[in-house]
Structure 1
Amino acid sequence: MSIAVQIQYAVPRINAPLQADFQRWVEAALLNQSKAGEVTIRVTDENEAAELNRRYRRKEGATNILSFPFEIPSCVPFDIPLLGDLIICAPVVAREALEQAKKEQDHWAHLVVHGVLHLLGFDHQQEVEAQQMEALEVTILESLGYSDPYESI
């Protein structure tokens, strides 16, 4: 598996994870699939996250993470190895970690795993889907040495 993880910082890198951390979390979330490709992670402020949330989800305010799976247009006759983009709002991550009494790094790891699972087609709109996705998140995070992110919620 060869996954390139591109990081874009729209905010200062203060308290943001290292490139190596992002890479490790993305690879773990790929569930040992033989996927090759690229994931772009953009670390934003609340204004950008709120604008994207409004434009693409029609919801007001910044959210912690947005996932945009890449879909190959039908007119393209070959495979393009892009998995998609994750938009992570650094101030929301920091605030949620504090509110939930979690280490900020643990929350970043959880959100990256969560977002990559969305890029792979997992969802949590229905209760059964949510249970399956959360169980996968817990398993992946435990394999990385993190505790269950849903225990303290």
Structure 2
Amino acid sequence: MIDIDIAIEAGAWPAEDELAALAGPTVEAVLAELDLKSGNAAELSLLFTDDAHIAVLNRDWRSKDKPTNVLSFPAFEIAPGDPLPAMLGDIVLAFETISSEAVLEEKPFEHHLRHLIVHGMLHLLGYDHETDEEAEEMEALERRILAGLAIPDPYG
């Protein structure tokens, strides 16, 4: 069981209950694919914000002075395959960037949002895409998780 704290800070996001209905099954699908179970309730924070705020976070934490679609801030450094920690961390999502990417890529907003939640979760769980090998592994996981949610391959 995972306890998801949802905060809508800025942007034209759907209502909190709609976001929870999307996020909950998406997060559970990630945990199921990785066969991760929590003996106790694990916690995750999702912050739904705008490009202005995520640009500041991206500049301050990654030295990239521009908005991005998603940022992940793990509570603990873990490696793929480690047990699920009690606190996973924070995922920050930017409405304008996600919305414009969905339009540009001709995919439903909901599908793109769920893909980015999966992507953010994998980062919290120790996955990365700094090398080609890491990127291939992470993208394969994303494809499998999203297929289980009836979402088409985001890379195809």
* Paired AA for residue 9 in structure 2: A
SS in 2 for 1:18: helix
Of all paired residues, the percent bearing the same amino acid is 41
Task: Map residues 1-153 of structure 1 onto 2, 5 A cutoff.
Answer: 2-12=1-11, 14-15=13-14, 17-30=18-31, 31-35=34-38, 36-71=41-76, 81-151=86-156
CA contact (8 A) 2:50 2:96 kept: yes
**Mapped partners of 2:43, 2:12: distance in 1:** 21
Distance 1:12 1:56, change over 3 A: closer
Post-superposition Cα deviations, 1:46-89, rounded to whole Å, max 9, x if no partner, equal 110000000000001110000001028xxxxxxx7110100000
**Mapped partners of 1:5, 1:28: distance in 2:** 14
CA contact (8 A) 2:11 2:50 kept: no
Q: How many equivalent residue pairs?
A: 144
* Paired AA for residue 33 in structure 1: L
Instruction: Tell me how far 1:21 sits from its aligned partner.
Output: 1.1
Moved more, 25-34 or 103-112: 25-34
Post-superposition Cα deviations, 1:94-133, rounded to whole Å, max 9, x if no partner, equal 0000111111000001000000000000000000000000
**Mapped partners of 1:12, 1:95: distance in 2:** 13
CA contact (8 A) 2:13 2:95 kept: no
Post-superposition Cα deviations, 1:22-69, rounded to whole Å, max 9, x if no partner, equal 111111112231134111000011110000000000001110000001
**Mapped partners of 2:70, 2:25: distance in 1:** 18
Q: Give structure 2 stretches of 5+ with no counterpart.
A: 78-84
CA contact (8 A) 2:13 2:48 kept: no
Displaced runs of 4+ in structure 1, greater than 2 A? 12-18
CA contact (8 A) 2:11 2:48 kept: no
SS in 2 for 1:61: coil
Aligned Cα root-mean-square deviation (Å): 1.8
CA contact (8 A) 2:55 2:66 kept: yes
* Paired AA for residue 35 in structure 2: N
**Mapped partners of 1:40, 1:82: distance in 2:** 9
**Mapped partners of 1:131, 1:12: distance in 2:** 32
Q: Give structure 1 stretches of 5+ with no counterpart.
A: 73-79
**Mapped partners of 2:110, 2:150: distance in 1:** 12
Instruction: Tell me how far 1:13 sits from its aligned partner.
Output: 5.0
